[in-house]
Amino acid sequence: MKRVKKLLAIAVLFLTIPGFVRAADFGLVIEQRASFGGVTGSDSNFEYTGVLSPRFSALIGDYGELFISAGIGLRYEYEEWAFIPELLRTEFYWIFNTGSFRVGRMHYSDPLGFITAGLFDGARITFNTMAGDFSAGAWYTGFLFKERANIAMNAIEREQQDVPVDFGNFVDTYFAPRRAIAALDWTHSSVGGGFLRAALSAIGQFDLTGEDLHSQYLAARFTLPQGAFTFNFGGGLGFAQVSGADNQTFFAGEAGVEWILPTVFASQISLLGRYTSGVSSGGGVNAFLPVTTIRQSPILQPGVQGLTMIAMHYAARVNREFALTLSSFYFIRNDLYTNDSYVSIDSNSGHFMGNEFFARFFWMPFSDVHFNLGGGIFLPSM
């Protein structure tokens, strides 16, 4: 109940600020999504999600900006309807001579995009220097909607993630696990005066749920444009301390290339390879443990733990109104012990999981109206 009162107080504070601003902008986004799919030999599932998202933005003085957005969602899943309210990106942003400061509910992502990524409540300050941009931020996750935060670092949190929202027990079924996150970041757009772009982060996650699962991460990503090609490579090293268990060490790496094709319309093909550590048979290395669970493909939707992914994407903007994407994902298990990334796979099934294919077609008849239709299939190799 205390967390609900705090949320209401924050909302009232943000809603009273617009009376002091000079220029404001209002907007409304309506999003609807329907999906149909299933597994061979089982019943198919139909899902529908509709979200009404009002937003408000305003300039405050010459250097400040306020942005407020919310989501009112209606969902049909597993033959049941659910109503989901959310406070989305809501932050105050201020620019000063040598940098910027923001506070509220904001987006943050590590350089790799699969350790800690999403909306978080907190504050971040950035300093712009000749040696690059330096940032420091601190956030809290306990006021977020659990599916938006998508934090499931242990078996208890994975189980709670699947519990439907119950307005009779709102606090225990709506909010994400209580964790504090702190990060130091450095980015540079032209290292050494050249074309190499770099991003480095040091991240700490502190468990406030009482389960005592703390973790720390070092992550780096480098981007090198070369004509029509762009090369990307990066990696991460992590450590975790779990109550009643040995300390854990894990790592990840990825490399990719993007090629802008010489076609009459805008098109691009990209290749990405990603490896995350699994549980080693001899001990010493553990399955990669991210803070947020990022799904790596639309159909199978595995996490990143203990997997190798080889992905190829093709994207084309045929004209102003039409675009399409074609994707292929192949997944390989890096051990036969980790099951956190995928559901109900027997440990004796082998390393090669299978190939997923997915295509999506986009139609944008107006700048503020978008339609898309996607479909795909996963072909298991086991």
Residues 6 or more apart whose CB falls under 8 angstroms from that of 185 comprise 111, 133, 134, 135, 136, 137, 199, 200, 201
Listed in order, strand segments (DSSP E) in the chain are: 23-37, 45-60, 64-77, 80-96, 99-109, 117-129, 132-140, 179-188, 197-207, 213-226, 229-242, 248-260, 266-276, 307-317, 322-333, 352-366, 369-380
Name the residue among 264, 68, 78, 52 with its Cα closest to residue 163: 78
Q: Whole-angstrom Cα distance, residue 260 to residue 23?
A: 40
Tell me the average pLDDT of the chain. 89
Write down the pLDDT at residue 119.
Answer: 97
What is the residue type of 343?
A: V
Q: Where are the domains of the chain?
A: 1-96, 98-226+235-245, 252-382
Phi, psi angles (nearest 5°) of residue 76 = -120, 120
Query: What does the pLDDT average to over 126-140?
Result: 97
Considering the domain 1-96, what is its CATH architecture?
Answer: Single Sheet (2.20)
Write down the pLDDT at residue 39.
Answer: 76
Write down the pLDDT at residue 3.
Answer: 59
Query: What does the pLDDT average to over 119-129?
Result: 97
Please identify which residue in the block is written with the tokens 């029509």.
228
Q: Whole-angstrom Cα distance, residue 118 to residue 103?
A: 15
Q: Whole-angstrom Cα distance, residue 261 to residue 267?
A: 6
Name the pLDDT band for 192 (thresholds 50, 70, 90). Answer: confident
Alpha carbon 279 to chain centroid, angstroms: 24
Name the residue among 84, 94, 96 with its Cα closest to residue 170: 84
Please check whether residue 100 is in contact with residue 129, taking contact to mean a CB–CB distance below 8 angstroms.
no
Write down the pLDDT at residue 343.
Answer: 46
pTM above the 0.85 mark? yes
pLDDT tens digit string along 229-287? 999 999 999 999 988 788 999 999 999 999 999 999 999 999 999 999 998 877 789 99
Query: What does the pLDDT average to over 18-37?
Result: 80
pLDDT tens digit string along 302-340? 999 999 999 999 999 999 999 999 999 999 998 876 555
